[in-house]
């Protein structure tokens, strides 16, 4: 990632269902940033498979965590 300025790239990654939940999602964001050597991620996705939809509460907490990260500018957008 160091070869190109971040402004020239659009970085997307995702959080897996086993990392849903407020603290787990926040940790996943921080881990992604560290591994990529970045200060923010342009798009952070919630990876939802049909069999996981029943975990609605965890999904809501993951979404809440990503929205808070968005406020702190660690993510530019979520989906």
- Could you report the per-residue pLDDT of 32-41, keeping only the tens digit for each? 999 999 988 8
What total of structural domains would you count in the chain?
Answer: 1
Domain boundaries, position 65: 6-71
* 14: three-class secondary structure by DSSP: strand
pTM for this entry: 0.64
> pLDDT at position 34, please?
94
Has residue 53 got a pLDDT over 70? no
Answer whether residue 44 is part of any domain. Answer: yes
Answer whether residue 40 is part of any domain. Answer: yes
What Rg value do the Cα atoms of the chain yield, rounded? 13
Answer whether residue 78 is part of any domain. Answer: no
Answer whether residue 77 is part of any domain. Answer: no
Q: Please give the C-alpha separations between residue 14 and each of 3, 6, 22, in angstroms, as whole numbers.
A: 22, 18, 15
Reading the block at residue 34, the tokens are 């560290």
> pLDDT at position 75, please?
65
Answer whether residue 79 is part of any domain. Answer: no
């Amino acid at each position: 990632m160091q070869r190109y300025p971040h402004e020239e790239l659009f970085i997307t990654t995702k959080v897996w269902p086993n990392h849903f939940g407020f603290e787990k999602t926040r940790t996943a964001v921080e881990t992604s940033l560290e591994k990529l050597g970045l200060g923010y991620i342009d798009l952070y996705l919630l990876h939802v498979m049909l069999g996981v939809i029943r975990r609605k509460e965890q999904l809501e907490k993951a979404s809440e965590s990503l929205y808070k990260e968005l406020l702190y500018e660690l993510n530019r957008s979520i989906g």
